[in-house]
Chain A
Amino acid sequence: DAGVIQSPRHEVTEMGQEVTLRCKPISGHDYLFWYRQTMMRGLELLIYFNNNVPIDDSGMPEDRFSAKMPNASFSTLKIQPSEPRDSAVYFCASSRAGRTGSNNEQFFGPGTRLTVL
């Protein structure tokens, strides 16, 4: 299994530009999570999906952020317009359904390091 795949690995953009981050979860996983990690705030959950449906987007900072999951093998996180304070590492993670044993394990991708100038 290739694990969770994210692209791009690095993104440098200028303030005001649109940024799109991509994620391919592990095949067979029912849950997909988007996180943001900074030194100041640690790892924050932005949004998560169950069977392609957004369940909780309470962590999305503002309307500039949007996420979609058009099918079970692909998700995007979009920032429009981007701002310097959006600079962070964005992780995608996936997990199986259920709550017992190792089903709770979330498998993380390598992350996208975003720099907004």
Chain B
Amino acid sequence: QKEVEQDPGPLSVPEGAIVSLNCTYSNSAFQYFMWYRQYSRKGPELLMYTYSSGNKEDGRFTAQVDKSSKYISLFIRDSQPSDSATYLCAMLRIQGAQKLVFGQGTRLTINP
């Protein structure tokens, strides 16, 4: 079993829809949770960052962490065609190796 599971999609929604992207994980040592966005033929870029549990909001984006369920989510409100990309969740342990564990990535398309 992978440490981090993410549905690869693809996911296609109309412009203006609310998008929900999710990851589950198995290692309770993860304390830092991130969402990276990767446009086609580009490297991933950090989109959102959360420490431990709770919500974090940045404009149209909201990241949620539920450590009791080992489940994290990224919500995109009022989705735009420019949000079309692959979204990867990533996690980091509080101690030990400084290495991120990535999900498979979900390919998202917002249709005008």
Chain A residues with a Cβ closer than 8 Å to the other chain, count: 23
A25 within 8 A of B: no
Q: Is the CB of A99 within 8 A of B105?
A: no
Q: Is the CB of A104 within 8 A of B43?
A: no
A45 within 8 A of B: yes
- Chain A residues, Cβ within 8 Å of B105: 42-43
Chain B nearest CB: distance from A39 CB in Å?
9
A56 vs B32: C-alpha distance when bound (angstroms): 20
Summarize B's interface: helix, strand, loop or mixed: loop
Q: Is the CB of A33 within 8 A of B99?
A: yes
Binds A, one of B11-19, B59-67, B90-98: B90-98
A93 within 8 A of B: yes
Chain B nearest CB: distance from A107 CB in Å?
8
Nearest opposing residue in chain A for B92, CB measure: A104
Q: Is the CB of A110 within 8 A of B98?
A: no
- Chain A residues, Cβ within 8 Å of B94: 99
Q: Is the CB of A93 within 8 A of B43?
A: yes
B46 within 8 A of A: yes
Chain B residues with a Cβ closer than 8 Å to the other chain, count: 21
Q: Is the CB of A105 within 8 A of B43?
A: no
Choose from A48, A91, A95, A99 the contact partner of B43 (Cβ within 8 Å).
Answer: A91
Chain B nearest CB: distance from A8 CB in Å?
14
Contact status of A99 and B32, CB under 8 A, knowing A110-B43, A111-B43: yes
- Chain B residues, Cβ within 8 Å of A99: 32, 92, 94, 98
- Chain A residues, Cβ within 8 Å of B104: 42
Q: Is the CB of A43 within 8 A of B44?
A: yes
Nearest opposing residue in chain A for B6, CB measure: A42
A74 vs B41: C-alpha distance when bound (angstroms): 23
B87 within 8 A of A: no
- Chain B residues, Cβ within 8 Å of A55: 97-98
Q: Is the CB of A104 within 8 A of B44?
A: no
Chain B nearest CB: distance from A98 CB in Å?
9
Nearest opposing residue in chain A for B42, CB measure: A110
Contact status of A108 and B44, CB under 8 A, knowing A42-B105, A99-B92: yes
